[in-house]
Chains A and B, each alone.
Chain A
Amino acid sequence: MTSPDLALLGVTKLAAMVRNKEVSPVELVRLYLERIDRLDGRLRAYITVCRESAVTAAQAAEAAVMSGAALGPLHGVPVAVKDQFDVAGLSTTMGSRVLDGHVATETATVVARLEAAGAILLGKLNLTEFALGGTVEFPFGQPRNPWNLERDPGGSSAGSGIATAAGLCAGSLGEDTGGSVRSPASFCGVVGLRPTWGRVSRHGVFPLSWSLDQAGPITRTVEDTALLLRTIAGHDPRDPLTSRRPVPDYRAALGTGVRGLRIGLVQELVSGPETEPGVRAAVTAAARELERLGAHVEDASLSLVPLSGAVFMALADSEGAGLHLPWLRSRPGSYDRGTRRRLLTASLIPTASYHQAARARALIRRQMLDALARFDLLAWPTAHQPAPPIAQHAAPITSREQVAGRFFTRRSYVSPVSLASVPAVALPCGFSPEGLPLSLQLVGRSFGEETLLAAAHAYETATDWHLRRPPL
């Protein structure tokens, strides 16, 4: 097997190979470090590379394999996490100069659980500043899409999408407040899951919006996502709002498929005017494939979801602005100008508008849950277009009409899920004529990740979109 083959195998297969002594953890860590050295100067996925500690951990993992010790499910597998997760002894930058000098004293629960399962931390990954979108100048380098370096990799978990797609780690964690796992997964051609709110601990995760933030995996396959979710999910006393429900074995449930499932194809987002024709065609074809696999696919309507982008920004940005107000007053120049302007705008949202948006959120959620009572799953595109040019984000905003196109439209495809606190998975479903990945989004019931991932796995197994590789 060639080095690129190995680097792009994903978490589940590499874990099995380590366990079977077909590859050593030291070999894997060195492979990924070599690829980071060779490719990340262009891609800028990483902010921190844990070179020495990763090699040391790999040597210990290799010794454990050779000694016949009990091995965790991720034993010896190199992973990376968004630089929003604390790791004791490492800086948490949040992709910002505002936090210069901040070193975490504790490790986020999700990272600790990965390490307890045997994973090796390769490093911390780039993101849009403070997990908000719209960063113009990235202090740690402009993250670039591995499918086309002039294209946006998606955000806010940009580095997580890039590193997973480019084989700079076996799998990664991102954080999704309003699409920040699913958008980079979509633009980079990999799998991204936003779990049900409360399924995964937020302890040690730098906050953006308390009622919307949720960590999730970005991986090469649905099976990898199932494995990582099983590892990080479950009640955490340090985040009392995590659910006490038992964590299912999501991988074991993957084989249940889609036969007999009712799937609602949400027309406002599939056939709406904002959805590019190529995206519409790819998602419609994916629906037909799910039908061929035994699902009952019908049109569904969610009349309020086109409003959800603006509702989301009124709520999430207001919460973020509250957190940032002291820094906006004392050191506004430390922010990227795009982030600063977004947070300043959010600081000025009238309270009446905030409350109106909070009420609208409850209505959107009710409409989503009503639809999920009629259907087992909902489906629509993860994004209305393939990855746009990076230069689009850098252009100054000169009218309020531009704002809607840049911020509200695309968020309406991902934020309804966040507002409703339900899970959703983004997975590859085609390519644009320019060779950019397109993505199907499947949305499940609260704590319905088993059904959701089983359906995604069935589609993935029947297609080969996930097997294509970026031209690096």
Chain B
Amino acid sequence: MARVLDPAEVEAMAAALRLTLTGEDLTEVTHRLNALLEALTPLDALVLDEVDPVPILPDVTGIDEPRA
């Protein structure tokens, strides 16, 4: 289980990004962030070290082409 962040920690994280978080926004964002981090904890059990963290997209050939 992920460590649960408290509102003061979330407020400090936001401040580091120059985002203002107060009142109901702070309460709800704290719940949302904790929920997402908790939902991602099962990934700890997967063997991911050897997996490249890039999206493999079909037929991508034009990535270096200038846009017309």
Contacts and interface: CB of A to CB of B under 8 A. Distances in A.
Given A348-B17, A401-B35, A359 B40 contact: no
Given A313-B36, A356-B40, A362 B53 contact: yes
Given A307-B43, A403-B31, A245 B59 contact: yes
A307 B13 CA distance: 26
Contacts of A356: 40, 43-44, 48
Given A347-B14, A402-B31, A238 B68 contact: yes
Contacts of B57: 197-198, 211, 241, 421
Interface size class of B (residues with CB under 8 A): 35 or more
Given A240-B65, A404-B39, A341 B28 contact: yes
Contact of B36 (A211, A345, A399): A345
B39 A309 contact: yes
Interface string A397-412: 1111111100110000
A98 interface: no
Interface residues of A, number: 60
A416 B8 CA distance: 34
A360 B58 contact: no
Interface in B1-39: 4, 10, 13-14, 17-21, 24-25, 28-29, 31-39
Contact of B55 (A211, A239, A242, A363): A211
Contact of B29 (A245, A345, A361): A345
Contacts of B68: 237-238
Contact of B59 (A243, A340, A359): A243
B25 A347 contact: no
B31 A397 contact: yes
A403 B24 contact: no
A159 B14 CA distance: 34
Q: Which of B29, B40, B56 counts the most A-chain CB atoms under 10 A from its CB?
A: B40
A355 B53 contact: yes
Contacts of A244: 59, 61-62
Interface string A343-373: 0110111100101111111110100000000
Nearest to B10: A348
A402 B31 CA distance: 9
Given A241-B57, A348-B13, A307 B35 contact: no
A240 B61 CA distance: 8
A239 B67 contact: yes
A240 B63 contact: yes
A198 B59 contact: yes
A198 to B, nearest CB: 5
Contacts of B4: 400
A360 B43 contact: yes
B29 A237 contact: no
A365 B67 contact: no
B48 to A, nearest CB: 4
Contacts of A313: 36
A359 B35 contact: no
Contacts of B59: 198, 243-245, 446-447
B25 A359 contact: no
What are the 7 closest A-B residue pairs judged by CB atoms, nearest first? A240-B62, A237-B68, A403-B35, A310-B39, A358-B53, A400-B35, A243-B59
30 contacts: A196-B58, A237-B67, A240-B63, A240-B65, A241-B62, A307-B43, A313-B36, A325-B19, A337-B25, A345-B29, A347-B17, A348-B10, A353-B36, A355-B53, A357-B43, A359-B43, A359-B46, A359-B51, A360-B46, A361-B55, A362-B51, A362-B53, A362-B54, A400-B31, A400-B38, A403-B36, A404-B35, A408-B39, A446-B58, A446-B59
